[in-house]
Structure 1
Amino acid sequence: MKRVIPGLIMLFLTAFAAAQQKSPVDLQTIKVKAPFEMPAIRIPDFSKCKRLSIADFGAIQGNKERTTQALVKAIAQANKNGGGVVVVPKGEWLTAGIRLKSNVNLHLNKGAVLLFSEQPADYLPAVHSSWEGMECYNYAPLIYAYECKNIAITGEGELKAKMDIWKQWFARPKAHMESIKRLYNLAMAYTPVKERQMVNDSAHLRPQFIQFNRSENILVDGITITNSPFWTIHPYLAKNVVIRNVKVWAHGHNNDGIDPEMSQNVLIENCIFDQGDDAIAIKSGRNPEGWRLKIPSKNIVIRNNLVKNGHQLVALGTELSGGIENVFIDSCTVVDGAKLNHLIFIKTNERMGGYVKNIYASNIRAGKIDLGILGIETDVLYQWRTLVPTVERRLTPISDIHLDNLQASNVKFLSRILGQKEQPVKNVLLKNVNADTIQDKAHIQENVINFKN
């Protein structure tokens, strides 16, 4: 008996010591007001977690290999600990791609710059990702999280992409167009995603900068992002996402700021966007992807953001085959002199299906807008119109759009709604939607039922 007790004590002390080394991640709950039932959003709280500097894991400024390996090791250790903050100290650190793990906060100190290599080979092997709403295996996003829980990217530092090669890939030559045509046909045939391998010498499907893929409880707070090969922040099939106090500058081709796609319970607030494309674009898969996965983008609140440039403040579509509902855009500002087409733009086509409903926008101010405050178009096909035929025709029901207290200085129109005869747009309410100067008609309409102004 005397021998058993010391053994039990030793076992207890070992377990206690292991527990003390763990750094569990707490969850914080955020309640968000919206004109629909908005679930509370859960995000990770790393305040009790151990901080792990990449310098202690062998990172060296200017040395891509050493810094990349240090990030891999520090992320693995934080995950093994049950939670941890991987710290990037002040200075410029050249790195290849980063793959996050659960219970990890990538934190950039003030003055820290993570500079991402422009070499495509640094983002291989290919990962389960997507291209313009179609799933495939492609170059890994520069920061990639797959099936993770409780993850964050925080701090006052900067994420920056070297653009030397990605800039060359902005062009869309015949070889690239043939590759996306092949992907479209694979998707329409419901070919297993594993067989949709898109990394080759000619596809040049650029990766997203940050993708949270099939992940939940996500926080992005405080960072600056400069440049992007493709979409900048892409929550994809994600749940419980807060993106706040983020500054994005990206003026390349397809450089949207944030693209929530088939994602739910999302808050985007206090961000600054200076974009080459839409500031925020809400999506839910292209054609069979949305029909197959059947997950709408839902319960999304966008508030207190500033747009300096972009095609739209908020776009919904064109990839919306899984549906979009319950979106609230409030108290946003577009600076005078910004290059903007619309404040709110809903766009789809006869191939998308899906639906759009319960969209609310209020208290938005803008200067001159090239087109108008609200645009709804149902025949937006871009390059796809002549690239591939319509395989399956599915129209998109659009209804219950509410705009209140939106003001611009100069527009061509307040609203332009181009519905389809077979599927008219329904229930559009505009209240206190005005512009100082209207160059064309205030309201342009085709196939709209129950429009109130």
Structure 2
Amino acid sequence: MTKKHFFVTSLQLSLVLFSMLFVSCGVKQTKTIVSADPWKTMQRIIDSVKGPSFRDKIYVITDFGAQSGGVFDNTQAFKKAIQNCAKNGGGKVLVPSGKYFTGPIHLEDNVNLHLEEGAEILFSTNSSDYPIVHTSWEGTELMNYSPLIYAYQKTNVAVTGKGILNGQANNENWWWWCSKKEYGWKEGKPNQNDPLNRLRLIAMAEEGVPVSERVFGEGHYLRPNFVEFFDCKNVLLKDVKIVNAPFWVVHPIKSSNVIIDGITVESHGPNNDGCDPEYSKNVIIKNCTFNTGDDCIAIKSGRDADGRRVAMKSENIVVQNCKMIDGHGGVVIGSEISGGVRNVFVENCIMDSPNLDRAIRIKTNSNRGGLIENVYVRNLEVGQVKEAVLKLNMFYEVYGAKPGTFIPQIQNIFLENITVKDGGMYGILAKGYKESPIKNVTLKNVKIIKVKEAYSIENLEGLTLIDTYINGVLAESPKN
């Protein structure tokens, strides 16, 4: 099928003309595959996720030598408080009001790191303060700098409270490593794209080099994640404000039963995704605000060969009552998505910013592969987006990647009760493969205005439109 465009230039455009435009696109109509009531499935997922519980015992970091003021190095004080708490059966490690400078914080089983209102943790910007640990960088596992807050193979862990986690990243540190001048990089300075850095990591993964031998860190300029729960169970991140991250902000990887509730992310650096669940199952993200330099929420499952090696889906992801401001996308799936994603539920969110590019986005390519299916979205209020309300792209380009042989699949995408005040360039922007078309996309009770071009569609089978209006015109489902 060739690419077709659909222009809606007037509220008075006749329904007959609109229907003719759909017929001309030649999109084949197939039955949309949707479970009888996906929202009951979502509720069952929510009911199954139980937050961690902790002993009613408090360990105050100042009792272990911590000093406020933002100058004294409290790394050992945090370590002592957390280890003492864990050794005695767990509880709450309390950070009182004040500013506390530290290196990385490593959580232990049954520990809740709790920040009182008025507490701010300032993380070191000296990369040598971060030891090498088993972590992940853009969907590829490696040995690299410790995340700023890190839990590895832990159970019953939390970071809570009304305080602030401040990564202190800016154009003078961390951000310029990305190699972009707008983030402080200058000609002649090293960066992540030097041959022995990002490219070497990707080559190692493609060659099947064991993760323990993919050692990076100092001199390789691969920035650390901010908050990472790696292979953890029963996780809670609640109420904290997170600012100025070096890289991905919240990263649950290979984790299950994760609740992210009421956090605020304000971080406009490169690759500053707000939340990236990866290879993770039963994740609830609710009541959060994302104001980011990249995707607000991006669901992932590994990059290329490394994603196929791990072979874990991200599944049963619920997003509720969140606000998305700046970002490349509101809720995004991909692009590191080789393991596949299924059962994503998004409801009751507000998305609005002149700097928000898309509302719902799926991005993949023929290096990634993977199956993305069963994405249900309802009750969105979208103020303004720049490019598209819904973007489904199997040809996502990143770092100049060449086409591969792992053709992705996208199917069963359902949007209901969506209002869009300023839709930007496209209502739907979809590009699939001829041999692997996007399948079964339904819009029900969707109202989009101020969109320049209603659709740009290539290789999509089964587009169903029910009570959907674009620029005031009722859109009909395409005919066979």
TM-score using structure 1 length: 0.88
Give the direction of change, closer, same or farther, for the CA distance of 1:301–1:71 in structure 2 (3 Å limit). same
Query: In 2, distance between residues paired with 1:224 and 1:375?
Result: 29
Question: 2:143 matched to 1:154?
Answer: no
What amino acid sits opposite 1:425 in the alignment? I
What amino acid sits opposite 1:421 in the alignment? K
- Listed one character per residue, the Cα deviations across residues 192-224 of structure 1 (whole Å, up to 9, x for unaligned) are 0011111232x2000010000011100011111
SS in 1 for 2:67: coil
Structure-1 residue corresponding to 2:261:
244
Structure-2 residue corresponding to 1:6:
none
CA contact 2:94–2:115 (8 Å) conserved in 1: yes
Structure-2 residue corresponding to 1:94:
101
What amino acid sits opposite 2:368 in the alignment? M
- Listed one character per residue, the Cα deviations across residues 126-158 of structure 1 (whole Å, up to 9, x for unaligned) are 111111101111100000110000000001111
Shift of residue 340, structure 1, vs aligned partner: 1.1
Shift of residue 270, structure 1, vs aligned partner: 0.3
CA contact 1:176–1:204 (8 Å) conserved in 2: yes
Query: In 1, distance between residues paired with 2:237 and 2:162?
Result: 11
Query: In 1, distance between residues paired with 2:408 and 2:228?
Result: 27
Shift of residue 408, structure 1, vs aligned partner: 1.1
Structure-2 residue corresponding to 1:432:
445
Structure-1 residue corresponding to 2:277:
260
Structure-1 residue corresponding to 2:33:
none
Structure-2 residue corresponding to 1:182:
200
Shift of residue 296, structure 1, vs aligned partner: 0.4
What amino acid sits opposite 1:193 in the alignment? V
Q: What percentage of aligned pairs have identical amino acids?
A: 40
Query: In 1, distance between residues paired with 2:325 and 2:348?
Result: 15
SS in 1 for 2:369: coil
Structure-2 residue corresponding to 1:7:
none
- Listed one character per residue, the Cα deviations across residues 340-382 of structure 1 (whole Å, up to 9, x for unaligned) are 1111110100111111000001000111211111000111122
From 456, 459, 465, the counterpart of 1:444: 456
Query: In 1, distance between residues paired with 2:190 and 2:442?
Result: 44
TM-score using structure 2 length: 0.83
Aligned length: 413
Runs of 4+ in 1 over 6 A off after TM superposition: none
SS in 2 for 1:229: coil
Query: In 1, distance between residues paired with 2:434 and 2:308?
Result: 23
The unaligned stretches of length 5 or more in structure 1 are 1-31
Shift of residue 444, structure 1, vs aligned partner: 1.7
Query: In 1, distance between residues paired with 2:234 and 2:354?
Result: 33
Equivalences for residues 53-452 of structure 1 within 5 A: 53-62=60-69, 66-124=73-131, 126-163=132-169, 164-171=172-179, 176-177=192-193, 178=195, 179-201=197-219, 203-335=220-352, 337-385=353-401, 393-411=405-423, 412-440=425-453, 442-452=454-464
- Listed one character per residue, the Cα deviations across residues 388-439 of structure 1 (whole Å, up to 9, x for unaligned) are x56x511111100001111111222211110011110111111122212121
What amino acid sits opposite 1:57 in the alignment? F
Task: Calculate the aligned-residue CA RMSD, in Å.
Answer: 1.6
CA contact 1:240–1:265 (8 Å) conserved in 2: yes
Query: In 2, distance between residues paired with 1:100 and 1:259?
Result: 19
Query: In 2, distance between residues paired with 1:174 and 1:86?
Result: 39
Higher relative contact order (CA 8 A, sep 6+): 2
CA contact 2:268–2:291 (8 Å) conserved in 1: yes
SS in 2 for 1:165: coil
Query: In 2, distance between residues paired with 1:251 and 1:66?
Result: 26
Query: In 2, distance between residues paired with 1:351 and 1:223?
Result: 36
